[in-house]
Amino acid sequence: MLEELWQKLISFYHKPEKENLPVIYSILQQTKLIEISKEEAVVACENNGTRFFLEKKTKELEEKLFLLTKKRLKIRFVLLEKKTKKTPPLLSYQPTIETLFENAHLSLKYSFENFAVSSTNQVAFAAAQAVVANPGKNYNPLFIYGGVGVGKTHLASATGRKILENNPKKKVLFCPGDLFINELIESIQEKTTQKFRRKYRLLDVLIIDDIQFIAGKERVQEEFFHTFNSIVSAGGQIILTSDRPPNEIKKLEERLRSRFLGGLTVDIQPPDFELRTAILLIKAKEKGIFLDIEAAKIIAERVVDCRALEGTLLTIFANFFVKEKKEKIDLEVVEKYFSSQTKNNQKKVAVDDVLKTICSFYNIKLSQLKSDSRISNFVFPRQVAMYILREYLKMKQEEIAYVLRRKDHTTVIHGVEKVRQLLLKNPLIKEEVDKLIQNLNLST
C-alpha cells in the first residue's frame, strides 16, 4: 500500500512527452515511503544529498500527497538504514569495499552522503542518481563541466562509488585525463598497448576527470575514441568531467565531440551562499568540529572559493579550539577571527573615497550610482560598490543600503552575491575589480 501510494505521487512528475524528465522525478525514484501515521508520512532517502534536496520541496510534496490521501500530512525525510552484511565463511575470500574502491582509484572521501545539493548543482546530482539506477542506459556519457572546485570530481567519484557499492562485481575505474595520456605514451614506448587496451576497453564504468587534456593530442584521441566505443557498445557507462562543455573544447576531434554531446551534458555552477553553508557544516561534522550554523553562515558569506572553505574552517579551529581551548566555533569566535584578519590586512579608506573612485572608473556620476535606475551601466558599478564596501570596509548590509539609498538590505545581499559569482566565472570582471581594489589601496 505504501509503495503504491508513493509511486502515484512520483507519477505526478512523470512527463512522457518530454525528453528530459524533471530533476525531482529522478531523485524521488531513489526514495521510499516507509511509514504513515495520523499526522505525518516518513520518507527514507538513500543519502544526505537526496534528503537536502527534497527537504526544500516539502510543501510541494505535501500538497501532492494531500491530493492522493485527502489528509494534511507532514512529510519527514530520514536516511535509509543500511543493511549489515553477513560475515562470509573464512575460506570464502571476498575483497572489502575499501579494497574495491582502492582498485578502482576512487577516493573514500567522495560520496553522495557528503555531497551538498543546491540550485547550483541539483541537475547534475539528479543525473548522477539516474546513472547509478541504470548504468550504461541513462545518460551515456554523463558529461559534467564547471569551474575549479565546484564539485565535479566529487560527484563523478561518488557516482562510481555508488555503482560499485550496488554491484561489487562491476569493473569501475577513475582516471585523471593526464594519467590516461601518460599511460598511453608509456605503453607505446614499452610496446604494451594491448595490455593498455585490455585495462580500459573491458571496463563496465570508466570515469575520466578533466577530459579536456586529451584535446590536440591526435594519438590519444584516436585511442580514447576506440575505448569509448568499446565500453559503450558492451553496455558500459562513461562519465567525463571538464572545465568547459564539449562544444568549447578546442582541438577536440569532431567524432569525439559528437560522442560527448550524444549523452547528457550538465554544468555545476560556483557554490551559492546556501551551498557554501551546507559544505561547511558537512566538513565540520566529518572532522568532529562543533560548528554553530550562524557561524557557518558568516564564513560562507566571507569565503566564496569552495576549496578555501575547508582551509578557513581548519584555521579557525586551530586558532581558537587548539590554542584558546574553545569548545565550539560560534558566532563570537568567527567574528573575532575575521576582525583580526581585517586589522592585519586592510587599510582604512573612507566610504566617499570608494564611491568617488568607482564613479570615476566607470565614468558615471555619484547621483547615477545612488539612483534607482536599472540601466546596466549604473547597476553593475552599484553592485561593485556594495561588494567593496561589504568585503573590504566590512560595513553592515544596512549601512551600505543607507549609503547607496536602497530601500532595504536585501538588495545589498543580492548585489554582493552577484559580484562574487561573476568574479569566479568571468576573468575580465575579476581583472576589472582587482584593478579597482588596487586603485583604492585595499589589496593585501
List pLDDT tens digits, range 212-268. 999 999 999 999 999 999 999 999 999 999 999 999 999 999 999 999 999 999 999
**Residue 363 confidence class, pLDDT cut points 50, 70, 90:** confident
Q: Are 388 and 301 members of one domain?
A: no
| Domain match, 128 and 251 both | yes
Beta-carbon contacts of residue 420 (< 8 Å; ≥ 6 apart): 304, 387
pLDDT band for position 16 (50/70/90)? low
- Give pLDDT tens digits for 141-153: 999 998 877 899 9
pLDDT grade, residue 325 (50/70/90)? low
| Domain total in the chain | 4
- Residue 332 within any structural domain of the chain: yes
Return the bridge partners of 208, or none: 175, 240
C-alpha cell at 356: 568617488
According to DSSP, the residues that pair with 174 across neighbouring strands are: 207
The boundaries of the domain holding residue 35 are 2-79
Same domain, 68 and 178: no
CATH number at residue 433: 1.10.1750.10
Cβ pair 244, 145 in contact under 8 A? yes
Same domain, 194 and 332: no
Read off the CATH number of the domain in which 237 is found.
3.40.50.300
- What is the spatial distance between Cα 415 and Cα 426, in angstroms, rounded to a whole number? 16
Answer yes or no: is 369 within a domain: yes
End residue of a domain, out of 287, 314, 341: 341
Contact 200, 206 (CB under 8 A): yes
pLDDT digits (tens, 9 = 90+) for 253-300: 999 999 999 999 999 988 888 888 989 998 898 888 899 999 999 998
Are residues 252 and 307 both part of a single domain?
Answer: no
Q: What share of the chain is helix, strand, coil (3-state, %, to 5)?
A: 55, 10, 35
> Which DSSP helix (H) or strand (E) runs through 240?
strand 237-242
Are 235 and 254 in the same domain? yes
- Residues 161, 107 contacting (CB under 8 angstroms): no
Contact between 112 and 162 (Cβ < 8 Å): yes
Phi, psi values for residue 369, rounded to 5°? -65, -35
Helix locations, 346-409, DSSP H: 351-362, 366-369, 376-391, 397-403
Omega before residue 88 within 30° of 0, cis: no
Query: CA 30 → CA 66, 72, 325, distances in Å?
Result: 21, 24, 43
The answer to whether residues 207 and 110 belong to one domain is yes
* Domain match, 48 and 120 both: no
d(CA 48, CA 118): 12
For residue 88, being part of any structural domain is answered with: no
397, 387 contact by CB (below 8 A): no
232 φ, ψ (degrees, to nearest 5): -65, -45
The verdict on residue 444 lying in a domain is no
Is the residue at 85 inside a domain?
A: no
Where does a domain end: 268, 296, 318? Answer: 268
Task: With respect to residue 86, please indicate whether it lies within any of the assigned structural domains.
Answer: no
Q: Which three cell numbers stand for residue 393?
A: 570596509
> 31-36 and 264-268: which strand pairing?
unpaired
Per the domain annotation, does 186 fall within a domain? yes
* 101-115, 132-146, 323-337: segment of lowest average pLDDT: 323-337
Q: Decide if pLDDT at 347 tops 50.
A: no
Residues 163, 195 within the same domain: yes
Contacts of 257 by beta carbon, 8 Å cutoff, 6+ apart: 246, 247, 249
Do 246 and 321 lie in one domain? The reply is: no
Rounded average pLDDT over 36-60: 86
Mean pLDDT value across the chain: 86
Percent of the chain predicted with pLDDT > 90: 47
Q: Is residue 90 part of a domain?
A: no
Instruction: Answer yes or no: do 242 and 157 share one domain.
Output: yes
Q: What pTM, to 2 d.p., does this model score?
A: 0.66
Same domain, 303 and 426: no
Q: Which of 14-28, 105-119, 143-157, 306-320 has the lowest mean pLDDT?
A: 14-28
Q: Point out which residues pair with 33 in neighbouring strands.
A: 43
Q: How many residues would you count in the chain?
A: 444
Residue 44 belongs to a domain with what CATH number?
3.30.300.180
Using the 3D structure, point to which of 268, 303, 319 is the last residue of a domain: 268
Please say whether the beta carbons of 280 and 291 come within 8 A.
Answer: yes
Q: DSSP letter string over 212-232?
A: GGGTT-HHHHHHHHHHHHHHH
